[in-house]
Structures are given as C-alpha cells and as structure tokens.
Amino acid sequence: MKKVAFKGGLLIDGTGAEPVVNSLVLTEDDKIAYAGADKEIGPDYEVVDITGKTIMPGLIDSHLHFSGNLTDDDSDWVLEDVVQKTVVAVQQAHECLENGLTTVGEISRSGIQIRNMVEAGVMKGPRVVATGLGFCRTCGHGDSHKLPSYYNDESHPWAERVDGPWDLRKAVRRRLRQNPDAIKIWSTGGGIWRWDQKLDQHYTLEEIQAVVDECRMVGIPVWSHAEGYGGALDSARAGVHLIIHGQTLNDECLDIMAEKGIYFCPTIQFLNEWFKTYAPPYIPEVHDQYPGDTVAEKDLATVAIVGENMKRTPGIAGKLFGTLGRAGISVIACAQGASETNISFVIKHKYLRKALNSIHDSFFLSEYKVLNLFIAGVGTVGGNLLEQIRIQQPKLMRQNGLKLNVVGISNSKKALLCREGINLDNYLEELKENGEESNPEHLCEEIVKMNIFNSVFVDCTASPDVAALYETLMNNNVSVVAANKEAASSSYDNYTKLKETARHRDIKFLFETNVGAGLPIINTMNDLINSGDHILKLEAVLSGTLNYIFNTISADIPFSEAIHMAKEAGYAEPDPRIDLSGKDVIRKLVILAREAGYPVEQADVKRNLFIPEKYFEGSLEDFWKNIKDTDAGFEEKRQLLEAEGKRFRFVAKMENGACEVGLQAVDSHHPFYELEGSNNIIMISTERYHEYPMIIKGYGAGADVTAAGVFADIISIANIR
C-alpha cells in the first residue's frame, strides 16, 4: 500500500470551515485517508513538505468538451483530421488536471476513450463522466451546415444527428455499446446558424421522452442542453436527469425540476466570446418580447483591486460595492477570483478617476479621508465658514485624518473651481480675478461635470435658485449642507422628495442651521424620534433678530432704532421685513414640525402679526422712513409690560401638527422671560419628556455660530470621532 503524507500546507477542505494552517493530508493508494491539523504519523508514510502552498480538493467542471479543435469555426471542427482532434483532446484532458480540475462532465467523440485510458493508468487526466457524442436533430447545433452531411457523420467532434423517437431509441442502444456514463441531447439550438437559434426547441416532447424512457430501462441519466424555455420545459416534463444552460427557466419549469429532483448546470462564462464569433440575427418573434434596445457598451474601464489581505476577510466585496454606490457609480459587470485575492469590475470610463479616489479613500490607501467641498455664498456666513475651515484644517488632518478640500467657491456672479483645492488664504482675490462668470445653473453643471468623489455642496446663500439645484446635485451623489431655509421650508412634496433622494442615494441632506443657528435642535429631535419617542408639542423663540430687538428697546432706544441696531450687528436679514413679518419664524416652525413628523405647509401656520401690513408694502427705503411711526405705540406697550413685570417674546408653537406664531407677553416664571440678546430657546414636549419638557437654549443668530453649525454638519458627513 502506497502511503503519502502532505505536511505543512494551508488546507482548504471544501466544507466551508476555516482554513487549517500547518495542515496534514494523508493518502493511501491515492485515496484521502485524513485531512486536518498536523498530528503524529507512522514511519511508513512518504512525507511531502508543502509549506507555503495551499492544498484543497480538486475542482469540478460539470460541462466541457474534449473536442480537440484548434479554432472556433464550426467548419474547422469537422474538417480537422479525427486523429489530430484525438491527440489535441488528450492534451486538453491533461491540461484540465494540471489546472486543478479533478472531475469533469464531458461530451465529445473522444471522451469515453480518454476516460478509459485514465482509469487504466495509461494517461494522466481527471475523472471523466463521459457521454460520447450527443444527439441533435438534423439542422441543429451539432450539424455543421456548410459541409456535406456525411462529413458530420464521420468527424463532428461532439454530436450525432438523429431524428424521431424510434431512431433516437436505436441511437441510445448503439451508444450503450460504448459504455457511456450519461446520454446527452440538444433539446434546443445553440446559436451557430439560421436553423440553430438558441431559444428554439429542436426535439419534441415525444422525442425527449423516447430518450428518457430508453435510458431509464438501463438506469443511465440523460443530460439535456436547453437554452430556450420550450426545450427546458419538455425536458423537465420528460424527466431528464440534468438541464444544461437554462437561460430562460421560469417558475413552472423550476417547480417541475424541484418535484422530480432534476439538476441544473448553468453556464454563463462562454457567452460573451461565443456571441462575438456567432452574432445572433434579429428574430422579431423572440426579441420583440422584451422592451428596450440592445446596445453595445462603449467607453468602459476595468478596475481590479488586488491584495493578499482580502483573502478570508468578510465584507470586502460589500465594502467595495457600497463605496462605489455611495459615489453614484454603477457597476456594469464584476468578477471575483477563486483565490479571494482580487475583485474586478467594469464601469463607465468617465467614472474611473472618481472610482479610484473613492476606493483609495475607503480602503485607507490614502493618507487622509477627503471631503471635497463646494461653497456657495461668501457673505457673512460663507466667509466665516471658510475662515473656520482654514484655521481648523491642520488640526483635523493631524488628529482625525480628515482633509477638507475646498474645490469650489461661488458668489452670485462668479465661480472658482479647482479639483486640487483652493488656497483659502486669498480666495476672495482669486475669485475676483480668476473666477469664471457663473449663475446657479452653470455652477450645478460644472459640479456634475467635475464628478469628484465624496462631494459636499454647502449652501450659505438665501437664494431659492440655489436651493433649486439640490435635487440635481443629490441625484449625482453630491451631499448637501444647507444654511439656506428655502428647500426645507418649500412645499412638503419637495421636502420629502429631497429627503427620500438622500436616503435612496445614501448621501446626506443636512440643514441643522435652518433653525437656531448652531443649536443642536434638529439633531436632538431626530434622536428622540429615532429612539421611539413622539413629539407632541413645540414652543420656541426662533428669531434671534426679534429677540434682540425686544431685549434692546428701552426708554432710550425706540423700536425703529432697535431694528437698525439688529441689522448693524448682523442679526437681521438684509431686508429686516423678513424677520419682522414673521416669515423667517414661520419657515423655521414649518421645518421643525416636518422633522417632528407632521406634514405642514407654510400656509397652514396661523399668523398673529405685531406690525400692520402697510409697513411691508413699498420699497425698503419706504419701510425705514415709515417704521418710526410705530415707536410711540411700542414704547407705550413696553412701559405697560414693565409695570406688570413682563416682557415681549415672539413665540412659535406647534401642538399635534397645529402651528401658530405671534407676539406673547411672558412673566418672570416663564422659561422664555430671561432669554437674553439674540438667543433662541425651544421647549420640546414628548411622550417621555411630558411633565418636564426638554429645553435647548443658546445663540440663535450670528454669522459665526451659524457658520459653526454648518461646519458641524460637514464634519458629521465625514463620520469621524
């Protein structure tokens, strides 16, 4: 008895178990007696050291042909000398073994003889489960139609033409004399020529049944080549043992296969090359069943990621394709090597650079995680934000491995774009001197055209035209951070569409600073809701401008002067009528109500205004001239409230979806009484925080805190700790 021990290799046993390092595999007379961890063995074993190598069970190819052909031309298949094809077929069998195939399911003229010689020890080769020549109809897949019929009879490498049930029975009996392991039939075509269409049925149910019945009497399986549905269904009905290819199997056929225990051998890897050689003609009755045009993909790129550490590391493929998905890159085709050390995929060439950068960033091949920022608006908020980024950037790179790369800056007239990043020390001069003429639509086109990974569009404007860009940008996988309230307070349908787009694209749509500047109001509400709480009521002072005004008016400072002071301090909008009319508060309340889960529109909010409508008519100049007329009335009300120990607060309320805003007098016992300067405050009543509402209080206006809130939203996209 010949006994061999293979020691020291990495063992993959084929069971799904973890690989065994420093393994031992014992064979006795070429049969495996043991496979597992190393152990003591007897002196009668011949020891083979395979340290540094991998040992595993042989691979199985359930469908191949030792055809012996040197070309893919169906005429050459027949015209090549039979002896030559046999010699080549022997070499093909040897190459299978050398490449790890230890068992094959084989259909060819030479296969049975090769099997016999391997089993007799005359030649080296895999175990062969052989059919010999398969059976096809005249004008079928095994009929090389350009040549005389008798040429096929004598030399076709893998098919014999047989027609009709009784001739098929006779052909099976003749084949049995060669001692095959199975009988192969072509129940459908293969796609070589006019009468050989892949989906066309070539053998009737009666013919297939005759073959199956004949084989059943001697206990030999039937393999059916069935690319089209009709041939597959009749093969299943007849009770074949195996269906090969099966591109058009449906539930009816699969149910029959399951009931009868019929095996399925799908084959896909050869189709691309096959169709290059034998392009299928257009067949209306077949192709017109399926809508859409068939097109040849052009301008593609193939990317491969390769690494030893990919092996046996769970989630690598998921991480890769998740990264590509978040970058908005569709994978056209993909493949993973059996060694688990490489994954290849095909994408549009225009996404190549973006894909490489995304992968490098995701797999920590880059020194830093990069966010590429487009900043719209360089006024008070945008300017403060850029300065904060400039100051904080070195620390973020050093401590958090995060690089904030500002690749675009724009104002209402110009845009400065640079893929490598803009120097924030002199961006205003660069924008003025080198910026190109731009408008919101042009800016959006350029951002999409740049196609940069990990892109974030930061809107520090108040423009509805800029807010209108969000959907297009998000559909191109650009995250949006908005200080601009226009989008979140627009129609409820648009608000939900943007939220759903962000969710669908796996990007972010953040607008924390829409309410309360840098206060964590929206994030807190989202945390409450996501944890299962339900928001019942909101009460808030949401206008830092109005709170500043009502905290500033005094016997010495009239109402109109307080408005001027709010504007000069940067708290009020350029047009303070937006604040005084309550529009800004209404928009904030609508946003909060929506984030609380209520479908509220701005028109649904009840408005209790404290300035007559006439002061909002005409020009801004008219407003400044006429607003002084209200000073006396406000001073009278102020004195009255002072005597009662009360103060004015412009309060926004939401209770179970009902919303209103208006001026309210609060006494010293109310949480809003001591609200100083431009601060904001919000009381959140929930099912959990009911008796004692949650209160969030702090700076609610100012360019620096608003910019800081925008900055925080940007950082949250990077997901750093």
170 flagged as catalytic = no
Q: Which of 414, 588, 653, 697 is catalytic?
A: 588
List all residues 6 or more positions away from 84 whose beta carbon is below 8 Å from its beta carbon: 68
Q: Which residue from 637, 620, 550 is spatially nearest to 585, judged by alpha carbons?
A: 550
CA distances from 611 to 227, 633, 653, 681 (A): 79, 11, 19, 23
Write down the H helix ranges in 99-164: 111-119, 149-155
Q: Measured on CA atoms in the order 73, 74, 79, 84, is the torsion positive or negative?
A: positive
What CA–CA distance (Å, rounded) separates 596 from 534?
A: 8
Structure tokens at 111: 């296969």
List all residues 6 or more positions away from 148 whose beta carbon is below 8 Å from its beta carbon: none
Question: At CA 609, angle to CA 606 and CA 611, rounded to 5?
Answer: 165
**Beta partners for residue 184, in sequence order:** 223
Question: At CA 63, angle to CA 187 and CA 113, rounded to 5?
Answer: 100
Q: Are 186 and 222 in contact (CB under 8 A)?
A: no
What CA–CA distance (Å, rounded) separates 219 from 182?
A: 9
Helix axes 229-238, 251-260, angle to 10 degrees: 20
What CA–CA distance (Å, rounded) separates 160 from 257?
A: 27
What CA–CA distance (Å, rounded) separates 23 from 486?
A: 66
- Which element (helix H / strand E) includes 471? helix 470-475
CB atoms within 10 A of CB 187: 32
Q: What is the DSSP letter of 412?
A: S
Residues marked as catalytic: 588
